[in-house]
Amino acid sequence: MTSRPKVVVIGGGTGSFAILSGLKYLDCELTALVNMADNGGSTGQLRDEYGVLPPGDVRQCLIALSDSAMPLRQLFNFRFPGDSSLGGHSFGNLFLSAVEMMTDNFSEAVKMASKILNIRGTVIPITTKKCQLIMKFSGREVIGEEEIDETKLPAGTKPSFYLKPKAAITEEAKAALKEADLIVIAPGSLYTSIISALVVEGVSRALKAAKAPAVYICNLVNKPNNTAGFTVNDYVSEINKYLKPKIIDYVIYNRHIPKDVMRTYANQEEHPVLKGDEDLKNLNYKIIEGNFLSIPALNQTDLTKSRGQSLLRHDGRAVSLTIKNILSNNT
């Protein structure tokens, strides 16, 4: 009997959620390696008040992979309303933090939530060291993912990143990369969802040891503070700096966003990621173009309620079909 291919997804947040929601239906062994440097919102508050590891991105990956009934998934995503001490906290974040505090082991909290939510696949923190992402540029240092997202970089600036204190890859994450048949880098904030995971000590070595090809699912739009004007190759070049000597083999690229939708995002200075003027024939990766946009989520009511948070999402099912084709050609 032929064993099922092993697919490892690196990332965190809403980008990983959309991709994992589609990939969980593939006939594969799916593992999500989750960024662990988030310090915003409910996650940041729990970190500050209780000294726990950031639960938010892990929670989203667990819910994406869950096979449980909708009410249970909704419970883990439920946010307490109002301005009370619980206001803004999600039940899932509180659950993960409570189990971590009881057991002094965040990985055990993830395993317990995985069983409760009956997930298809495995969710693994890429590190369990408490750390902050640091961005350096022009002699400045910016500490923390939330602060980095809010920092407007001068045009053309390519900052450097590291974690403080240094954080090492978990043994489980290392083993997953070594055994992978395909490594997928999910879309998301380039610096605070993707590179924050890649700068974990040992990730680069684990990727070097991996024989699997690497796929990057390119972002749909650029963010005005960090990636204004970035092309596909800008994203790939920034990611490859932290993957050396492993490089991206494939890029999944959405070719079209409806004009009426983009008008709304243009008001927030968010514009589609373009392929750019590079000679595409000379690139060392293959661009796979298609319609990978999740249209149902895009309506004016939702956009009005978004309060500036992008609702553009990848269609996880469409992406998963492309991943399936890549697997077929490489296994």
3-state secondary structure at position 50: helix
Q: What is the pLDDT of residue 149?
A: 95
| Residues paired with residue 184 on neighbouring β-strands, in sequence order | 9, 215
Question: Do 11 and 305 meet the contact criterion of CB atoms below 8 Å apart?
Answer: no
Q: What are phi and psi of 119, to 5 degrees?
A: -80, 150
Q: What's the CATH class of domain 6-36+126-330? A: alpha beta
Question: Do 185 and 11 meet the contact criterion of CB atoms below 8 Å apart?
Answer: yes
Question: Do 201 and 238 meet the contact criterion of CB atoms below 8 Å apart?
Answer: no
Q: What is the pLDDT of residue 279?
A: 63
Low-confidence ranges of the chain (pLDDT < 70): 1-2, 278-282, 295-310
Q: What is the pLDDT of residue 265?
A: 83
- Delimit the domains of the chain by residue range: 6-36+126-330
Q: What is the pLDDT of residue 281?
A: 65
Alpha helices in the chain (DSSP H): 13-23, 41-50, 56-65, 70-77, 91-103, 106-117, 145-149, 171-179, 196-198, 203-209, 232-240, 259-266, 300-305, 316-330
For residues 138 and 101, what is the distance between their CA atoms, to the nearest angstrom? 39
Question: Do 183 and 8 meet the contact criterion of CB atoms below 8 Å apart?
Answer: yes
Q: What is the pLDDT of residue 295?
A: 64
pLDDT digits (tens, 9 = 90+) for 22-31: 999 999 999 9
